[in-house]
Homo-oligomer: A and B are copies of this chain.
Amino acid sequence: MERKVVLEIIEAGMYAPSAGNEQAWQFVVLEGEPFAEYLAINGNAPKTAPMGVLVCMDRQAEKYKEMNTAMMDCSAAVQNMLLEAHEKGLGALWTAVFEGAKGKVRELLNLPAHVEPFACVLVGRPKKRDGGIPARFDGSKIHYGKWGAKN
């Protein structure tokens, strides 16, 4: 993947809102051998993606630890990255880093103790675009003024 494209996707992530503007995120670009090694450790990802960006929670930058705001920041950043990749005609996928794999991922990438792997955003060129988006609106999950009130 061209470096410029990867950086634009990451930049979109950095425009996410964050709690008290803490921006408690870090990004590790994974391609080639480090990417293959990552996938071998945390094997929930389709093996066909050419690269991924590991988004990490920066617990040192996190201002409201009791609320886990670094997770909120990083989730919003990942969502922005997915939208930016889609906008570019690429395919992207949010894949979790499993709790049991975090130690090994940290070791592999030499992450400091305050940097916790959160999700790997896989990016690639789709063979074809999905034909359609299934409707997702679900009125049963919307309440008005009080739980269960439907107007």
Contact = CB atoms under 8 A, between A and B. Distances in A.
Contacts of A67: 96, 98-99
Nearest to A111: B147
Interface residues of A, number: 56
For this chain, the copies found in one complex come to 2
A75 B68 contact: no
A30 interface: yes
A143 interface: yes
Interface string A115-136: 1000100000000000001001
Contact of A145 (B30, B64, B72): B30
B138 A23 contact: yes
A85 interface: no
Pick the 6 closest A-B CB pairs, nearest first. A75-B75, A34-B145, A76-B79, A79-B79, A110-B147, A14-B136
Interface of A: 7, 10-11, 14-17, 19, 23, 25-34, 58, 64, 66-69, 71-72, 75-76, 78-80, 82-83, 94, 96, 98-99, 109-112, 115, 119, 133, 136-138, 141-148
